[in-house]
Every structure is written in structure tokens, then in C-alpha cells.
């Protein structure tokens, strides 16, 4: 799209985009570190995640404030308005991805060292991998305004939902067999739930890409 007559307006929109890109990058790192902290029982890494969460919140607040100011100052219309509204929505999603990552990191301090011999291990690691890909794809399609891949990422969310159901079922089976690991198995359900939510946030960002490009809202959970 061509530049505005007002170069200052372009700079303001570019600045919002840059802040979001940085936020997205931080959220990706948070998810990666949180899962590593959980799977390897690394309390230092978990502490790092908690510290970074503060930064994400600060940047998200800054993005919201600046986007609101652009609305007040420029009264954007059409694609510009959709961009700013989309950024406000995306900012909330990314901030919540950070919250979920922090939740996973906190769990790593509360449970026994992770046991990779448990029945849910392969499904949980697959869920982690797919959630990370979904998050990365959502940021990528947003940067490229790539509707085709946004729709693919939205469709892939179903696989993560199915994995979530499987992990929960296996964790419940483990709990019923061995009461001594109840807390650890329960934490797996919480981790899986966080991963599932992260994937939902990635899906929301992809839906915003469709809104931004076509000006139309697609129904949540559409396949």
C-alpha cells in the first residue's frame, strides 16, 4: 500500500507495527523458555521467564496507549483503522501468550522433575511443537498479510485441540493408576491447557489478518 500524504502518520503506524513485532518475538522466546524450564526442571530459566513477563506487559501497555493515541489523533479509516484495531486485539493476545508461558514456568517450580517415560510425553511434546509453530506462523502471516497461510494456521488449531484431549485423557489415566504422582499429572493438564490457549491466541491473530486484509470477520472455531 502506498504511503500517506503525512509522513508522520506513516511513522506512527510503523512504530506500532515495530512494537508488535518485538512483542511477538518476546512471546515466542517466553514459550520456548517456559517449556524448556518445565521439561528440564530449570528454575533459573523459569525465573527468567517470570522477569521477562513484566517486559511483555509493559510493551503491551505501551502499544495499547500509542494505538489509542493514533485513533484520537489521526481518526484512521478503512485499512488504517483495521490495522490499528487489529494491533489492539493482537496486543491482548500476545500479552496473554506471555501469561500462559509464565504459568507454565511457575509450574516447573511446583512439581517433581519431569518424567519423559510417562504415557503423555510424546503427545505433550508434539503439542508444544505445534503450538510453537502456530504462534510463529501467526506472527509470520501477520507480518506478510498472508491470508492463505493464516487460514491454514486457523485450520491446524483442530490438531492441537485433539492433542489436548489426548494429553488430558492420558494424564487422568495416570492419576487413576498412581495417586503418588497426582500433583505432577495434574500439572501436565495445566501445561497442556496453556499450550492449547496459546494456540487459540495464535488463531485469533490469524483471524485478525483476514480482517485486516479483507475487512471481514471470520467466525471463531470455523474449520
Partner 1 sequence: MNQNDQESRDLRRVNLDTTLVESSETLDPNELPDEEICLNVSSLSLHYGEALALKDISMKIPRQRVTALIGPSGCGKSTLIRCFNRMNDLIDGVRIHGRIELDGTEIHDRNVDVAQLRRQVGMVFQRPNPFPKSVYENVAYGLRLTENLPKSELDDRVEWALKSAALWEEMEGRLKESALGLSGGQQQRLVIARAVAVKPSVLLLDEPASALDPLSTLKIEELIAQLKSDYTIVIVTHNMQQAARVSDYTSFLYLGELIEFDSTANIFLNPSKQQTEDYITGRYG
Smaller CB distance to partner 1: residue 44 or 77?
77
Taking the CB of residue 82, how many other CB atoms lie within 10 A of it?
Answer: 18
Of the candidate spans 49-57, 87-95, 120-128, 211-219, the one that interacts with partner 1 by CB under 8 A turns out to be 211-219
Contacts (CB under 8 A) with partner 1, residues 130-149:
147
By CB under 8 A, residue 214 contacts partner 1: yes
Place of cell 508444544: 128
Residue 163 CA to residue 46 CA, distance in Å, equals 25
Judged by CB under 8 A, the residue of 22, 71, 81, 133 near partner 1 is 81
By CB under 8 A, residue 190 contacts partner 1: no
Residue 105 CA to residue 71 CA, distance in Å, equals 36
Residue 25 CA to residue 94 CA, distance in Å, equals 10
Smaller CB distance to partner 1: residue 35 or 150?
150
Lay out the site mask for partner 1 across 57-76 (x = CB under 8 A, - = otherwise): ------------------xx
Largest interatomic CA distance in the chain: 68
Q: How many residues bind partner 1 (CB under 8 A)?
A: 27
By CB under 8 A, residue 1 contacts partner 1: yes
Q: At closest approach, how far in Å is the CB of 75 from partner 1? A: 6
Cβ-based burial of 84 (10 A; exposed 0-12, middle 13-18, buried ≥19): buried
Residue 179 CA to residue 210 CA, distance in Å, equals 47
Q: What angle do CA 60, 66, 68 make, to 5 degrees?
A: 100
Q: At closest approach, how far in Å is the CB of 113 from partner 1? A: 44
Q: E strands along 43-110, which residues?
A: none
Smaller CB distance to partner 1: residue 85 or 172?
85
Site residues, partner 1 (CB under 8 A): 1-6, 9, 75-82, 147, 151, 154, 210, 213-219, 222
Amino acid at each position: 500500500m502506498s504511503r500517506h500524504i503525512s509522513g508522520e502518520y506513516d511513522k506512527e503506524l510503523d512504530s506500532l507495527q515495530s512494537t508488535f513485532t518485538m512483542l511477538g518475538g518476546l512471546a515466542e522466546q517466553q514459550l520456548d523458555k517456559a517449556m524448556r524450564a518445565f521439561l528440564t526442571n530449570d528454575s533459573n530459566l523459569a525465573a527468567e521467564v517470570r522477569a521477562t513477563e513484566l517486559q511483555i506487559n509493559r510493551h503491551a501497555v505501551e502499544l495499547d496507549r500509542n494505538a489509542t493515541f493514533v485513533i484520537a489523533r489521526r481518526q484512521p479509516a478503512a485499512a488504517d483503522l483495521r490495522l490499528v484495531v487489529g494491533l489492539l486485539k493482537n496486543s491482548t493476545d500476545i500479552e496473554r501468550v506471555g501469561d500462559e508461558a509464565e504459568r507454565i514456568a511457575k509450574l516447573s517450580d511446583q512439581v517433581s522433575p519431569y518424567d519423559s517415560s510417562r504415557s503423555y510425553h510424546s503427545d505433550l511434546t508434539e503439542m508444544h511443537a505445534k503450538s510453537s509453530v502456530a504462534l510463529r506462523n501467526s506472527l509470520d502471516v501477520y507480518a506478510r498479510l498472508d491470508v492463505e497461510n493464516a487460514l491454514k494456521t486457523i485450520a491446524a488449531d483442530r490438531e492441537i485441540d485433539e492433542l489436548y484431549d489426548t494429553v488430558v485423557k492420558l494424564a487422568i489415566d495416570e492419576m487413576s493408576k498412581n495417586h503418588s504422582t497426582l500433583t505432577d499429572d495434574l500439572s501436565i493438564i495445566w501445561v497442556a491447557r496453556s499450550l492449547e490457549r496459546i494456540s487459540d491466541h495464535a488463531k485469533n491473530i490469524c483471524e485478525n489478518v483476514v480482517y485486516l486484509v479483507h475487512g471481514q470477520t471470520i467466525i471463531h472455531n470455523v474449520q
